[in-house]
A = this chain, B = another copy of it.
Amino acid sequence: MVQHYSAHVNASFAALADATRRGVLDQLARGDASITDLADKFEMTLTGMKKHDGVLELAGLVTTEKIGRVRTCRIGPSRLEREMAWIARYRQVWDARFEALDGVIDELKREEQARGRKQRK
């Protein structure tokens, strides 16, 4: 079996697996912010926020630019396209699978009813 490995998708989902990092993305989607602003907003040390920012940067979800002593964070370039596509496709297969199961159950019910009618005759 061919195993599709995607380090980028791994990094993105890992970055999203933390409520603070999702909060940071929500915040940056509304406007750029410095690491200091973010640390304040999320009641976190600068070191802690830098770590979260590093994880988001590795996943391509945030870019930072240092001007003078201020490091400004903004969202992008990743728009989570591959991650969205993966989940969408999975849900599609999921739905198809359970529709098929529903079909089998309906079929069994019909057969049972047919048997019931035969026995009553």
Contacts and interface: CB of A to CB of B under 8 A. Distances in A.
Interface of A: 1, 3-6, 9-14, 16-20, 22-23, 25-26, 29-30, 41-42, 75-76, 79-80, 83-84, 86-88, 90-91, 93-95, 97-98
Given A3-B23, A14-B14, A86-B22, A91 B79 contact: yes
Interface SS, A side: helix
Contact of A16 (B13, B30, B93, B98): B13
A29 B87 contact: no
Given A17-B10, A42-B3, A94-B29, A84 B86 contact: no
Given A22-B86, A79-B94, A80-B87, 10 more contacts: A1-B42, A3-B19, A10-B19, A11-B17, A13-B14, A13-B17, A25-B90, A75-B94, A76-B98, A79-B91
